[in-house]
A and B are shown apart, each in its own frame.
Chain A
Amino acid sequence: MLKKKWGFSVLASVLLLSTVLTGCGGDDNTKTITFWTPLTGDDGAYMDQLVKDYNATNPEIKVKHVITADMYTKISTVLSSGKGVPDLSIIHADRVPGYVKQGVLEPMTDVIAAQPELKQDNYLPQAWSTGTIDNVQYSVPLDIHANVMYYNKDLLAKYGVESFLDDNVVTIDEMLSLQGKLDEGDYVVNDALLGWVILAQIQNLGGDIQQDGKPAVNTPVMKQAFEEVKKVNDAGLMTPFGEDGYLMFQSGNVLFSTDGTWSSTAHAGVEGLNFGVTNVYSTSADKFTNRGSSHLFAMLKNEDRSEEKVAGIGQFLEFIRANSMEWAKAGQIVASKQVNESPEYKNYMQSFFTSDEKETQSLYIYTYEYYPYIAEAVDTYCGDIVRGNVDIDETLQTMQKFVEDKIAESAGAAQ
């Protein structure tokens, strides 16, 4: 009996306490810019710092940074209910064409008009133009985050192949030259972001994923891209299927890891891992591509967004353009030239990718409107193709059909 009472009183006091705690709060929505980002983890903390720095300049309208773990689903819910749409958000490059077509993005025209420095010349051009559709600008870029290749310096020395890096491009032939020369348990390359690597080879081979607006998956170029990468696997040089190649690189058993710019901080956290970064391996010595996406500031359609807020957004974006060095800490390639051309930026490993014109051009962002479906198809099937588990021709047909079926089902809904 006593216990029962005790239980109830605990419950009661918890409820009371929490009601008191949750009872307060409430914002003046007209005086703040609600800013949604999908930046969880450390990235969110860096962005938080940037927002704090901006608010410390005492702007008329302050920015409220809201990190959401499942932002795109959340965007769907608020757009469909029409309430609670954020004033500003960060979206990924591949979302732009779809959102524009569905008419849910507001052009940045007014924002840009008020802020003369928010223009293509001040940013990495491909990051800026990924938001340009029919000559209308829908976004302002924050960064490019690309698929890059880390290398283990000690292993390169061990096998005497530092020369691979001489021309800044490691070719598949160079990697194949190591066949039979590695100790047991060592591998030349892992399969991190394998789908991204395949899509980079498409560029290296001079192909594309679309033809006249139609998806082009089942193509000779795609087949060649797969076959080239498959050679590495067939020679026993790729980390085994199903093994965590990313961790194996951190364990110091893999010469090259094809993961993202954002992994540099994690790799740096591993003691004794002596690593550097270079371009993703290529089919030829003449061309290399680092497939990327981009974080973009964009405004979802929201009728309640006042002119003052739009002006405030412009000020905020201009502040970011001039002050986003903080964002380099996240490992990303900052899009603003003022930042990525400054001497301080050179301290960051990813500055390699803006170090010269050829590097800058190697950062490639796909802007085809149905790119997400193609990427999904490639990600779903690339492992089995490269590992030789499936017939390549048949699977390419399946992938082509996969993309076409999805496009057919989505197009009608958008009308």
Chain B
Amino acid sequence: MKKKMSLAPAFFVGPHIILFLIFILLPTIYGIYASFTKWNLMSDPTWVGLDNYRTILFDGTSTFHTQFTNGLKNTLLFVLFTVPVLIVLPLLIAVALEHKKVKGKGLIQAVLYVPGLISISAGALIWLLLFNKQLGFVGNLFNSDVSWPANQPYAWIIIIVITVWGGVGGNLIIYRASISGVAQDLYESASIDGAGPIRRFASITLPSIRFPLIYTFVMTTAGAFNVFGQPLMMTDGGPRQSTHVLMMYIRQLAFGNGESIAGMASAMAVLLGIVILIISALQYYVMNRNAA
């Protein structure tokens, strides 16, 4: 058996590795190389060694240091605010939808999934209008007198609201697909045995989705670290840059007005990549150990 398998893995994972080398590894290596250069995206990069990293990490007076620390701090806040909700809420919904007697599952699922299809610019506009003091329901129905995008904690709240609104559907259908893999018989026999909903969740549902759960945790976190659309559209980073996330700074440096400062942007991106790498590795390690 072992001899027969020697070539088979190459057939199964090989084609993807070739694609990966061309379309991900090569550009990533170039991106990492660019982080050691000064580069305006157009002419050839000039090698500057560790200068960019030194500036970002250690030069306390530099704008890039301030941007990086502020951006990373805000990105971490965004991750902390949204990831738990994006994991737990869909799970609760999936469990509620698993209830045998609940009718209209497809419809409910569709309603919760649709926002994820709407483009971020349109979605942001909808929410900004809804939260508008004059034109929206928040001002008119609840008599709120605050300008949400310009005051904390409201600025964070609207960013979280639109993120959760648009993001719940994806994880929900992953959970639904995993739970559907569980034989209904298991639930039925558990019900007959008198197991309550919490017991059933803990002893049947949760174990059955432990592997997909690791996936949603790791990937939702990695995705949240890359956030920029929601803060950009909802608050433009304000007030006082308190919602200005790292990816917004990176994009401004690389693709802003004026000459591109892509080398510095690359260095920030590489540092962000390292942060994501460490955190997801930790998540995977902890969860996988508990799941095994």
Direct contact of A and B (CB under 8 A): yes
- Report Cα–Cα, A375/B151, bound state, in Å: 24
B147 near A405 with CB under 8 A, answer no
Decide if B219 is an interface residue (CB 8 Å cutoff). Answer: no
Decide if B140 is an interface residue (CB 8 Å cutoff). Answer: no
Contacts A102-B40, A242-B149, A405-B63; A376 near B239 (Cβ below 8 A) = no
Residues of B within 8 A of A (CB): 37-43, 45-46, 48, 61-64, 66, 128, 132-135, 147-151, 235, 237-241, 252, 255-261, 263-264
- Report Cα–Cα, A401/B66, bound state, in Å: 11
Determine the chain A residues whose CB is within 8 A of the CB of B64 once the complex forms.
405, 409
- Report Cα–Cα, A46/B53, bound state, in Å: 47
**In-complex Cβ contact of B46 among A94, A247, A412 (8 A):** A412
B240 near A415 with CB under 8 A, answer no
**In-complex Cβ contact of B257 among A247, A375, A383, A414 (8 A):** A375
Decide if A413 is an interface residue (CB 8 Å cutoff). Answer: yes
Closest 4 CB pairs of A and B: A242-B150, A372-B258, A242-B147, A372-B257
Q: How far is the CB of B191 from chain A (nearest CB, A)?
A: 32
- Report Cα–Cα, A292/B249, bound state, in Å: 26
Nearest neighbor of B48 in chain A, beta-carbon distance: A412
13 new A-B contacts at CB < 8 Å, known A376-B256, A415-B46: A76-B41, A102-B40, A241-B147, A241-B150, A244-B128, A251-B134, A372-B259, A376-B252, A380-B241, A387-B150, A402-B63, A412-B46, A413-B45
- Report Cα–Cα, A375/B41, bound state, in Å: 21
Contacts A247-B135, A389-B240, A409-B264; A98 near B46 (Cβ below 8 A) = no
- Report Cα–Cα, A390/B252, bound state, in Å: 22
A-B contact pairs, 29 of them (CB 8 A): A76-B42, A76-B260, A80-B41, A94-B258, A102-B42, A102-B259, A240-B150, A241-B150, A241-B239, A242-B149, A242-B150, A242-B238, A247-B132, A247-B135, A251-B134, A251-B135, A371-B258, A372-B257, A373-B258, A376-B252, A390-B240, A405-B64, A406-B258, A409-B64, A410-B40, A412-B38, A412-B48, A413-B40, A414-B43
- Report Cα–Cα, A371/B149, bound state, in Å: 28
- Report Cα–Cα, A79/B28, bound state, in Å: 20
Determine the chain A residues whose CB is within 8 A of the CB of B237 once the complex forms.
380
Determine the chain A residues whose CB is within 8 A of the CB of B63 once the complex forms.
398, 401-402, 405-406
B132 near A244 with CB under 8 A, answer yes
Decide if A357 is an interface residue (CB 8 Å cutoff). Answer: no
Q: How far is the CB of A393 from chain B (nearest CB, A)?
A: 16
Determine the chain B residues whose CB is within 8 A of the CB of A98 once the complex forms.
258-259
Decide if A29 is an interface residue (CB 8 Å cutoff). Answer: no
Decide if A286 is an interface residue (CB 8 Å cutoff). Answer: no
Residues of A within 8 A of B (CB): 72-73, 76, 79-80, 94, 98, 102, 104, 185, 240-244, 247-248, 251, 253, 370-373, 375-376, 380, 383-384, 387, 389-390, 398, 401-402, 405-406, 409-410, 412-415
**In-complex Cβ contact of A383 among B45, B238, B258 (8 A):** B238
- Report Cα–Cα, A398/B70, bound state, in Å: 14
- Report Cα–Cα, A155/B45, bound state, in Å: 56
Q: How far is the CB of A413 from chain B (nearest CB, A)?
A: 4
Contacts A80-B42, A102-B43, A384-B239; A413 near B263 (Cβ below 8 A) = yes
Q: How far is the CB of A59 from chain B (nearest CB, A)?
A: 31
Contacts A373-B258, A384-B238, A389-B240; A242 near B151 (Cβ below 8 A) = yes
- Report Cα–Cα, A247/B43, bound state, in Å: 42
Contacts A240-B147, A243-B132, A413-B40; A405 near B62 (Cβ below 8 A) = yes
- Report Cα–Cα, A373/B252, bound state, in Å: 11
